[in-house]
Amino acid sequence: MPAGNLWLLLAAASCGLAALAHVGCIVFGASWYRFFGAGEQMARLAEQGSWQPTLITAGITAVLLVWGAYALAGAGVIMQLPWTRPILLLISLVFLLRGSAFILLMGKFPDNSLTFWLVSSAICLLIGGLFSVGLYQRWQALA
């Protein structure tokens, strides 16, 4: 297995774990939204039976699963997906930008806790780093 595969496998596993946590929020509801710091508004909407938290969280889950699949494709574990190299680059950038732009985002989502922003931003930076290193190491193989 080429060295870059480990980084992309870890990126895929990280996306899978993040997706699983989001599914937990959908299944277990308000207490999970609160625990993960998603904000009191999301928790209240979940308690009220609103579809909004479920749809938002399901959308995030779907994106994470697709991104995990691209990491597996980049690692050579599954078949190559369309535009694997540029999409892995875009995924890396999105995670790194999300991780580093939390100060700008905090004002747009004031209901989310500081702990949520710090922990989720650190996780995004970590996952973005995994994608970036893996992509760098596999760049030529993905041409």
pLDDT in tens, 23-77: 999 999 999 999 998 888 999 999 999 999 999 999 999 999 999 999 999 999 9
**Integer Cα distance of 55 and 67 in angstroms:** 18
Q: What is the mean pLDDT of the segment spanning 12-25?
A: 98
pLDDT in tens, 20-35: 999 999 999 999 999 9
DSSP string, 48-93: TT-SHHHHHHHHHHHHHHHHHHHHHHHHTSSPPPTTHHHHHHHHHH
pTM for the predicted model, two decimal places: 0.91
- The contacts of residue 131 (CB under 8 Å, 6+ apart) are 7, 8, 11, 71, 88, 91, 92, 95
Position with higher pLDDT, 4 vs 134:
134
